[in-house]
Amino acid sequence: MKHKFKEGFYWGTAISALQTEGTHSDDGKADSTFDVWFKDEPERFFGGEGNGIAVDFYHMYKDDIKLMKELNHNSFRFSIAWSRLIPNGDGVLNEKAVEFYNGVIDELLANGIEPFICLFHFDMPWIMQEKGGWESLEVVNYFAEYAGIAFKLFGDRVKKWFTHNEPIVPIEGCYLYGFHYPKINDFRRGIKATYYTILSNAKAVKKFRELRERGVLSKDSTIGAILSMSPVYPRDENDVEDVKAAKICELFFTNSFLDPMVKGAFNKELLKLLKTHNLLLDFYTEEELTIIKENTIDFLGFNYYFPRRVKSKDIRSEGEVNNPEYFFDHYELPERLFNKDRGWEIYPKGVYDLLMLLKDEYSNIPVYISENGIGRHNGDQEDTDENGYINDDARIEFVKGHLNWLWEAQESGSNICGYHMWSLMDNWSMSNAFKNKYGFLYVDRENGLKRSIKKSGHWIAKVSENNGF
C-alpha cells in the first residue's frame, strides 16, 4: 500500500439539508431564503427546478445509510435545517424534525458510521432573514439558542459538530455578487454580516463548552467550523504588484474567517485595509470581541475545489470599493487542467499548500477535508454504458490526485484527520439545481429517485476499507 493513512482516519461524504432532504412543508418545516427565492424567481434555477423533493433524503435515509455502509463509510457529515427544527424561531420544536434527525443519527450509529453535524449550511430561515439575517445581533442570539437546543437534543450521541459551512459564501452571494437571495449587494453591510456571522460562531462555541462542562455533552465532544478555502497564487511570484494583489485576495477570502475562528483575533492587515477605505464601521463591542477571543474552534473543516490565481489590476480602480476585486484581477493559468463541465481549475497540490499553511501558521489545528469534488454535467452521461453503469474514471482520478497530496501533507506533519467527499449522491444545488452531478451515487430522477453506485463509489469503498490506496 503506497499511500497509507493514519489509524482512525475518517472516510465519508457530505450532504446538506437544503440540497437533499426536500422541503416537505406538510411536516412542519418553515421557509428558508432559498424556498422564498424559488417562489419569487423560479427561472433563476437551472431547468426551473426547486428543492421541493430534492433527493428525498428525508424519507429515504435508511436506504441511503445502507449504501454508505457499502461504500465503507466510517463517518458522514450532514446538516440540520434550522427552519425544520424550530420553524417559528421561537424555541418551540417541530417534533417531526426531532424524530427525523434522531432517526438519521441512530441509523448511522447502528451501521458504525460516526455522524458529523453542521448547524448552518446556507439555509437561513426566512423568519430570521426578515429580522435582518446575519446583519442582526438578534439573529446571532437566536442562532446561539438554536445551537444549544441541537446540542441538548442530539449531543448524547453526536461528538463532532460544526457551526457553519462556508460562511463566506452567503456573504459573497448576498452582499458581493448577487447569487444568493435576497441579493443585497452592499459591501459595507456584507462586512457587518461577516462580523456577526463570526460572533454567532463564537456564541455557539461558548454554549457548546458550557454544556460540555456541565456533562450534557461527552468530554470528548468537539466543535469546529467549515471554511471554503482556496490557496491564492500570484501570476508572477517575482512581480511585487502581483504578490501584493495575491496577499490582499488572501486577506479577504482566507484570513477574514480563519483568523478570528482559529486565533480569536481579526487579521490586523485586513483591518488596516478596511479602515483605510472607510469600510470598517463601529458596530462591535469589546465584550463581543472578548467572546470571539475566548471561544475559538477545536478543529477545522475546509472545503477545497479550486485555487485562486490573481494579478495586479490591469486598470487602476477608482472610486468606492464595492467588492474585493477592487484590489486585484483574476488570472487564468494558460496550461491549466480544468473541469470542462464546471470551468474550475483542477489543482490537487492546492490541498497540500493549504494544509501546510494551517500547520505552519495556525498551530497545526486538527483538520478535516469537509468537501472536495468534481461536478460533471455531460461527463457522467458520456461515461454511462449500455447497462446504465457510470464508469466515471475522471472522478476517480480527481479524488486520487487530491488524496495523493493529502497523504503528502500527512507525511509532512499535517494534523489531517479525515476526508469527506462532496457528495454522497447527485443532489440539488443552489441555482444549478440538478445540472452538475457530484455524487458517488447516481440518482435516477425518472425512476423513483433510485440510487446506484458509480464506479468511483466502488473505488472509494476499497480506499476506505484499506485506509489508503
Which residues participate in catalysis according to the annotation?
A: 371
Taking the CB of residue 287, how many other CB atoms lie within 10 A of it? Answer: 7
- What does the block give as the cell for 187? 459591501
- How far is 18 from 84, CA to CA, in rounded Å? 10
- Three-state DSSP state, 249: helix
Rounded to 10 degrees, what is the CA torsion of 450, 342, 367, 57?
A: -20
- How far is 413 from 416, CA to CA, in rounded Å? 9
- Three-state DSSP state, 113: coil
The DSSP 8-state label assigned to residue 125 in this structure reads B
E-only strand ranges, 359-463:
367-371, 416-421, 441-444, 450-453
- What does the block give as the cell for 202? 463564537
Q: Report helix angle 349-361 to 393-411, nearest 10.
A: 30
Residue at 425: amino acid letter: M
295, HSE (Cβ side, Cα atoms, 13 Å) = 23
Alpha carbon 351 to its chain's center:
15
Residue at 273: amino acid letter: L
On the question of a cis peptide bond just before residue 423, with omega within 30 degrees of 0, the verdict is yes
Contact 110, 4 (CB under 8 A): no
- What does the block give as the cell for 151? 446540542
